[in-house]
Amino acid sequence: MPSSEFEVSRVTSEADLREMYRLRYDIFTKDQSKFVAVADHDQKTLVDSLDAVSEHFAVRRRGEFVASLRMLYGADRMSQEMARNLALAQFAHIDPGKISFTGRLFVLSAYRRSRALFLLLQHCYRIARERDTKLDFIFCNPHLVSMYEQLGYRRYGDCFEDPNLGFQVPLILIVEDVAHLEAIRSPFLSEAGKYPSDSRLADWFKTTFPEYDHFVSPISVGADRFMELMSDKLNDADVGLLRGMDQDERESLIAATRHLEVGAGTRVIRKGDFGKELYLILDGVAEARLPQKRDSLVLATFGRGDIFGDMALVSARPRSADVVAQTPLEVMYFDDDNLNRLVKMQPALAAKLLYNLSRILAQRLENTSHQALHFSEDLQAQGEALLGL
Task: Give yes or no for a contact between 244 and 300, defined as CB atoms under 8 angstroms apart.
Answer: no
Confidence of residue 386 (pLDDT cuts 50, 70, 90): very low
Tell me how far apart the alpha carbons of residues 107 and 127 are, in angstroms, rounded to a whole number: 20
User: Does 81 score more than 70 pLDDT?
Assistant: yes
Max avg pLDDT among 120-134, 238-252, 266-280: 120-134
Tens digit of each residue's pLDDT (9 = 90 or more) over 274-327:
888 889 998 888 999 988 877 778 888 888 888 898 877 677 678 889 999 988
Interhelix angle 377-387/347-374, rounded to 10 degrees, is 170
According to CATH, the topology of domain 3-213 is: Aminopeptidase (3.40.630)
Give residue 369's pLDDT: 54
Strand order in the sheet with 258-262: 258-262, 329-334, 278-283, 307-308
Same topology for domains 3-213 and 223-387, yes or no? no
Which has more pLDDT, 28 or 341?
341
List phi, psi (to 5°) of 272. Answer: 95, -20
Percent residues over pLDDT 90 in the chain: 41
**Torsion sign across C-alpha atoms 308, 314, 317, 318:** positive
Q: Give every CB contact of residue 341 below 8 A, 6+ residues apart in sequence.
A: 256
Please compute the mean of the pLDDT values over residues 186-208 and round it to a whole number. 93
Q: Roughly how many angstroms between the first and final C-alpha of the chain, as a whole number?
A: 38
Give residue 92's pLDDT: 95
Strands (E), 98-198: 99-107, 135-140, 154-155, 160-162, 166-174
Confidence of residue 57 (pLDDT cuts 50, 70, 90): very high
Per CATH, the architecture of 223-387 is what?
A: Sandwich (2.60)
Which has more pLDDT, 4 or 360?
360
Neighbours of 31 (CB within 10 A): 12
Domain ranges for the chain? 3-213, 223-387
List phi, psi (to 5°) of 269. Answer: -125, 135
User: Does 31 score more than 70 pLDDT?
Assistant: no
Confidence of residue 376 (pLDDT cuts 50, 70, 90): very low
Give residue 120's pLDDT: 94
Surface-to-core class of residue 254, CB atoms within 10 Å of its CB (0-12 exposed, 13-18 middle, 19+ buried): buried
Max avg pLDDT among 9-18, 265-274, 299-308, 369-378: 9-18
Tens digit of each residue's pLDDT (9 = 90 or more) over 218-245:
565 555 666 666 665 665 555 778 888 8
Three-state DSSP class for residue 7: strand
Integer-rounded Cα radius of gyration of the chain? 22
DSSP state letters, 68-99 = EEEEEE-GGGS-HHHHHHTTGGGGTTS-GGGE
Confidence of residue 374 (pLDDT cuts 50, 70, 90): very low
- Window from 86-100, 170-184, 192-206, 297-311 with minimum mean pLDDT: 297-311
Of 259, 268, 272, 276, the C-alpha closest to 323 is 268
Q: Give every CB contact of residue 168 below 8 A, 6+ residues apart in sequence.
A: 85, 139, 140, 141, 159, 160, 161, 162
Max avg pLDDT among 20-29, 67-76, 222-231, 364-373: 67-76
